[in-house]
Amino acid sequence: MTTSTTTKDRHITDEEFEDILESDTSQKLSMSIERQPSALSQSDIEPGLQETFNENWEASIISGLTPDQIRLLKERTYYANKYYWAAGKSIRETARYLAEIRENCQTGTWMALCESNKLNISSSKARELANVWDKWLKHDYTIPELALVDVSTRTLNFVANIKDEETKLKAVGLLRDGNKISEDKLKAILKEKKTATDEEKAKAKLKKELDEIEKDASLTDYSKLVKKSIKQSEFKLSQMPARIKKLQQENKELEEKLDALKEAAKGPEEAKAYIEKIRATAQAKREETSFARKG
């Protein structure tokens, strides 16, 4: 197969290109330039190729090459990249057309087509690409075409089938950043992410449980305080009758003292007799109480 660099009379083959790179005295190069400078000097060079010609390449790449060899090297590199990009574009379009076929025919027809020799790809790749379009590429045009070339259809299908949105975004990001990654490596990376996520969930769960325990402890303490307050109130209520009785007794004694003062106002002898009477009554009560305790 010939390359895209052409002359008026013939193509420069890959073997000739290798000879050109080996020495700056290549007669084949001299002949091609002498007979026809080819597309390298034509005015209708496409913009992308002209930009490549204008680039300053590293000395490690172009050292020892003549200007014509450098131009030829840049042209070949440009077209190599161009068609490699086109390969990614082809994968995207292939996935789209396969998905349309699957959508517009019965399952039996679709499977029969995949298993037949009518498609230029294997049955498994056809099914994978159709799935990739429906579950991913149909809604995402941010993936560079080169990313689609650098991974297998199996890996693309794996990404398309990821259900967790966060995990899928991470996987797509890895491909979008130009990582040439296999399905196994991608799974390993996502597993690490998943493990970290599980750890975060475990920490969150533990924190929630601790908060609940702390909350329960607070409720328990509050409950204890309430119960203690109730018991204190009940104790105070139980002491009320005795307290009331004591107050009644004190009131009675005060009334007796008041009566004694009133009697004293009448005359010393009468007051004295009244006080003696009160003392005798109090003494009798004390003796009665003492006798009741001994009995």
Both 117 and 203 in one domain: the answer is no
Confirm whether 67 is domain-assigned: yes
pLDDT at 282: 73
Do 73 and 147 lie in a common domain?
Answer: no
Cα torsion through 126, 127, 131, 133, rounded to 10: 10
Flag whether 6 is in a domain: no
Do the domain assignments include residue 95? no
Q: Does residue 194 contact residue 167 with C-beta atoms inside 8 Å? A: yes
Domain count, the chain: 3
- Give the residue-averaged pLDDT of 1-8: 38
pLDDT (average), residues 86-101: 93
Distance CA 183, CA 181 (A): 7
**pLDDT of amino acid 213:** 60
Angle subtended at Cα 133 by Cα 131 and Cα 135, rounded to the nearest 5 degrees: 65
DSSP bridge pairs for 45: none
Q: What is the pTM of this model?
A: 0.49
Question: Tokens 């990404």, residue?
Answer: 159
Helices (H) and strands (E) in the chain, counts: 12, 0
DSSP 151: S
Identify whether 77 is part of a domain: yes
- Residue 5 pLDDT more than 60? no
Specify whether 182 is located in the same domain as 106: yes
At residue 210, the pLDDT reads 62
If asked whether residues 225 and 254 sit together in one domain, one would say: yes
Q: Which amino acid is at 146?
A: L
Residues 147 and 181 both lie in one domain = yes
User: Within a domain: residue 274?
Assistant: yes
Residue 32 lies in a domain: yes
The answer on 241 and 286 residing in a single domain is: yes
* pLDDT of the residue at 104: 94
Least confident of 75-84, 104-113, 284-293: 284-293
Residues 280 and 201 in one domain: yes
Total Cβ atoms within 10 A of residue 152: 13
Residue 61 has pLDDT above 80, yes or no: yes
Give the three-class secondary structure for 205.
helix
Cβ neighbours of residue 227 closer than 8 Å, sequence gap 6 or more = none
Domain boundary among 192, 222, 241: 192
pLDDT digits (tens, 9 = 90+) for 209-267: 666 666 665 556 666 666 666 677 666 667 677 777 777 777 777 777 777 666 666 66
Share of the chain above pLDDT 70, in %: 62
Write out the E strands in the chain.
none
Matching residue, tokens 């560079």: 144
pLDDT at 17: 44
Phi, psi values for residue 178, rounded to 5°: 90, 20
Give the closest residue to 176 by CA, choosing from 219, 203, 120, 136. Answer: 136
pLDDT of residue 35: 36
Predicted confidence (pLDDT) per residue in 114-144, tens digit: 999 999 999 999 999 999 999 999 988 888 8
Helix (H/G/I), strand (E/B), else coil: 186: helix
Residues 198 and 289 in one domain: yes
Residue 95: count of CB within 10 angstroms of its CB: 27
Within 10 angstroms of residue 197's Cβ, the number of other Cβ atoms is: 13
In a 13 Å sphere around the CA of 140, the CA atoms on its Cβ side amount to 22
Distances from the Cα of 265 to the Cα of 255, 272, 292, angstroms: 15, 11, 38
Task: Write the CA distances from 45 to 14, 41, 91, 239, integer angstroms.
Answer: 21, 8, 27, 112
DSSP 13: P
208 and 286, same domain (yes or no): yes
**109 lies in the same domain as 23:** no
Flag whether 2 is in a domain. no
Evaluate if residue 12 carries a pLDDT over 50: no
What tokens does 177 get? 């950043």
For residue 177, the model assigns a pLDDT of 79
Alpha carbon distance 73, 62 (integer Å): 9
Q: To the nearest whole number, what is the mean pLDDT of the chain?
A: 75
CB 78, CB 134: distance < 8 Å:
no
- Which of 192, 212, 244 terminates a domain? The answer is 192
221 in a structural domain: yes
Question: For residues 145 and 85, is the Cβ–Cβ distance under 8 A?
Answer: yes
Express each pLDDT in 16-56 by its tens digit: 445 444 444 433 333 343 333 444 445 567 888 889 999 99
Q: Say what the pLDDT of residue 47 is.
A: 84
Verify that 55 and 125 share a domain, yes or no: no
By residue range, what is the domain housing residue 267? 193-294
Q: Which of 157, 192, 227 is the last residue of a domain?
A: 192
Which percentage of the chain shows pLDDT scores above 90?
25
Answer yes or no: is pLDDT of 196 > 50. Answer: yes
